[in-house]
Amino acid sequence: MATKGDLLYAWTTDSGLASKAECGGAVTALLRHALETKMVDAVVAVTKGYDIYDAIPVAVTDPKELDMTAGSLHCGTLLLATFIKNYLDGAKKMKLGVVVKGCDLMGLLEEAKRNDVDMKNIITIGVNCGGSVSPGVARKMIKAKYGVDPDTVHKEEIDKGQFIIEYEGGHKGISVDELEEEGFGRRSNCRRCLYKVPRQADLACGNWGVIGDKAGKATFVEVCSEKGADLLTKAVAAKKLDVEVANPKGIEIRGKVEGAMLKLGAKWRQHDFTALRDNLWDTINKETSRCVKCYSCIEKCPVCTATAFKGRDESLMVRRGKLPSDPMFHLRRFAHISDSCINCGQCEELCPMEIPLALFSHAIRVEADNAFEPKLGKPVYSN
């Protein structure tokens, strides 16, 4: 019987699933069991669309269709929290199983604070995340740095500090550090992230720390809640999953990998924020002068309420139809989310004018955290 705090290796008993999935297929096996036993009505995950650069959110109700969501898509930059809020009524009328990376989970928690999502109806399986790569950047990077036609790439992964591609004719890996030094690699918000193992999920899963004969064949599972323990226990009892206690050396390695990722994230924060510190507002005014007021940064943000802004354009400080937008348009938005930006990067990722909006809102959030943390104590999560 699993209990909160357990650190385990887990793998599917289905040989067919094991051949398709990564790390032993434990995550897919858990979600399949939850669907089959009606613990959830649907599973929310991501699947490949046209190619590896086209990630699509899906709500799966047939357990047999879950195989299509197995594996990782590092060139998928979706935020499932907004998908659940906007298209599944915030799980208020149905029970969901959801695969989440850190920013997905933070988005759900922030939306729950606003009563946009009902977390009681959601089972979350968190996956370790070292970052994602914008699809457009990935294509340019693969062509320029790898010398490979991006259309011939059928699989990618980030492993042991490298971005690795498999393509027609072979495979190749290049250090993520090298890629990022040349302006490629992970999204800027992912580089600054300090939430690599989502322990506020019901289960936190990944390949970090899986060693020995289980390396590549099992998932490291940290049981983070009673809800997660219940799902894991039932899946094992139904013989859908096998588990064993994690190797102590593997636990140590997992901690070192996480620690290295956190140090790298802190390094990128220092790099990005130091350049802003002396001229933040001048930089914001200059960059946002390209804004066309498409509202994408508001509508795709998990913590910003679009209705709170659209009705206020007639004020003297934010004139309707004025382009470029008045500075107060963005200052008002930054103020609105300054205490809750989760650094998901959706505003920046989707901005047609390529304004570094995530950098600005994240810098303001972190500055506020630094000012108030000594009084309030360590935050529940760190982004």
Enter the DSSP assignment of 185: S
Statement: residue 308 has pLDDT above 60: no
pLDDT tens by residue, 258-272: 999 999 999 999 999
Q: In this predicted structure, what is the pLDDT of residue 381?
A: 47
Positions of E strands within 195-335: 203-206, 219-223, 241-245
Per-chain mean pLDDT for the chain: 89
Match 């109806």 to its residue by tokens: 121
CB atoms within 10 A of CB 309: 17
Strand 203-206 versus strand 170-175 pairing type: unpaired
Q: In this predicted structure, what is the pLDDT of residue 355?
A: 94
The answer to whether 141 touches 183, Cβ cutoff 8 Å, is: no
Which residues have C-beta within 8 Å of that of residue 113, sequence separation ≥ 6? 340
Confidence of residue 379 (pLDDT cuts 50, 70, 90): very low
More confident residue, 227 or 66: 227
State pTM to two decimals: 0.91
Q: In this predicted structure, what is the pLDDT of residue 316?
A: 61
**CA atoms of 217 and 117, how far apart (whole Å):** 35
Q: Which amino acid is at 70?
A: A
Q: In this predicted structure, what is the pLDDT of residue 315?
A: 56
Q: In this predicted structure, what is the pLDDT of residue 144?
A: 95
DSSP per-residue string spanning 219-254 = EEEEE-SHHHHHHHHHHHHTTSEEEEEPPHHHHHHH
pLDDT tens by residue, 327-353: 888 888 888 888 889 999 999 999 999
Bridge partner list, 157: 164
CA dihedral 219, 225, 226, 230 (to 10 degrees): -20
pLDDT tens by residue, 103-131: 999 999 999 999 999 999 999 999 999 99
Give the rounded percent of residues in the chain with a pLDDT score beyond 90: 66
pLDDT tens by residue, 196-215: 999 999 999 999 999 999 99
Q: In this predicted structure, what is the pLDDT of residue 309?
A: 58
CB atoms within 10 A of CB 193: 29
Which of 137, 146, 171, 178 is CA-nearest to residue 157?
171
Strand 7-12 versus strand 170-175 pairing type: unpaired
CA dihedral 104, 106, 108, 111 (to 10 degrees): -130
**CA atoms of 14 and 29, how far apart (whole Å):** 8
